Structure 1
């Protein structure tokens, strides 16, 4: 049992270091990488529980790193409200204990996102569509978040399609990720889906996540971001396909 615990702890440390590394280089991807790898090692519910603390810390860092928090909150509050509602509904699936279905759902989400990011054409959303489309995208993102623990689809492609300035886009992604993480934590807590040991491990995972994020920021100037992102997405696609075909 002791050896198994050490092995699992080492896997968690390596996973969150790698996830932080990806976020440090690309500005995103920590929850996606962590859920993808941990979803192979354990149930998606356990993986989502471990994700909460490191994701919250890194997302808050990203959210408050820019100057546009209040304007972005005023602009996207309908979307964020819908994210919370969708997550509360979707978490019933994640907390149900049906690990085969949730693993397949997680794998399908990873495949869709990585395939779109690799071959999809950049989209543009007209300003006139934003008032009604933002809540729809928020609800869909919440449902995916609640049922799989991954909160990049469809929020990330949508925010990228709005034509935001670079700094505003990074901060808007931080806002979406932060709200999604808090909503996921709250919904799982209300369903009594947390285990004390998982929360403790989640807090411990903050350190390797921050170390990986710092390392990724150092490497950003030495590695072509486009090349790194391409191979990251290819690996993510293969990982998602494996989860769809051979769920645990």
Structure 2
């Protein structure tokens, strides 16, 4: 896509849609942005654009609750390992074009997340295993994040399996996504893949993302979140499969 106007319209529409998904489901902004923009731009360009909208919207989600100190103490092994894992694999994303390992990894991550969420039943992590497994789960998620720009596998199912109250889960997801965004930005910056020129465009993308969140919160009162979520996941699955069909 070489027409600057068309590109700007695509970016604005993508972040509005991503904001709608986050407004309805409470998550999904980076996933939607990477899924759509990664289909037409390089994963590196898409990841650079999502940094500011993802950080600001998740910071808002992080601040909306009283449990931050307790969650930080409970989840710090997950957060620290994820940060380190993201830095380790950021070179894959920083060197990515529209085809290649990062695009394949992004397609696999989208398919895995969609299929798991559609097919898997509810899980529960036994308290005796929680602290022992946090670092491996965090490291695995960080490795996926650095290579694809997606923060969800396997940390989101893990957090959902801890038995947190709804408000605690929303705040825990906000904490994890905020730290993951900072880790991704740091990894791309260290690799020379996060350019100052993209920062302004990423900042501007926050406006349609916030507008989409407002629309999504309005829509949440008028549609079934479960039906909306299934449609969203099927869309992610199709986008991921399309990426896997590209020539390597």
User: 1:222 — aligned with what?
Assistant: 222
Contact kept in structure 2, 1:65 and 1:171, CA below 8 Å: yes
TM-score (norm 1): 0.97
User: 1:209 — aligned with what?
Assistant: 209
Partner-residue secondary structure (3-state), 1:66: coil
Q: Distance in 1 between matches of 2:11 and 2:196?
A: 16
Q: Distance in 1 between matches of 2:101 and 2:78?
A: 27
Give the Å deviation of 1:200. 1.4
Give the Å deviation of 1:92. 1.5
User: 1:72 — aligned with what?
Assistant: 71
Contact kept in structure 2, 1:16 and 1:34, CA below 8 Å: yes
Matched, 1:49 2:22: no
Matched, 1:30 2:46: no
Provide runs of 4+ in structure 1 moved above 4 Å: none
Partner-residue secondary structure (3-state), 1:135: helix
Listed as ranges, the matches of 1:1-248 within 5 Å are 4-97=3-96, 99-246=99-246
Give the Å deviation of 1:247. 5.5
Aligned-pair RMSD on alpha carbons? 1.3
Partner-residue secondary structure (3-state), 1:242: helix
Partner-residue secondary structure (3-state), 1:150: coil
Q: Distance in 2 between matches of 1:14 and 1:96?
A: 26
Structure 1: segments with no counterpart, 5+ residues:
none
Structure 2: segments with no counterpart, 5+ residues:
none
Question: Which shows bigger deviation, 88-97 or 6-15?
Answer: 88-97
Contact kept in structure 2, 1:44 and 1:103, CA below 8 Å: yes
Q: Distance in 1 between matches of 2:168 and 2:144?
A: 24
Give the Å deviation of 1:195. 2.4
Contact kept in structure 1, 2:149 and 2:184, CA below 8 Å: yes
Give the Å deviation of 1:110. 0.3
Deviations 1:204-241 (A, max 9, x none): 00000000000000110100000000111011111111
Q: Distance in 2 between matches of 1:109 and 1:123?
A: 20
Q: Distance in 2 between matches of 1:145 and 1:97?
A: 14
Give the Å deviation of 1:197. 2.6
TM-score (norm 2): 0.97
Aligned residues: 247
Give the Å deviation of 1:131. 1.0
Contact kept in structure 1, 2:189 and 2:195, CA below 8 Å: no
Contact kept in structure 2, 1:104 and 1:247, CA below 8 Å: no
Contact kept in structure 1, 2:43 and 2:96, CA below 8 Å: no
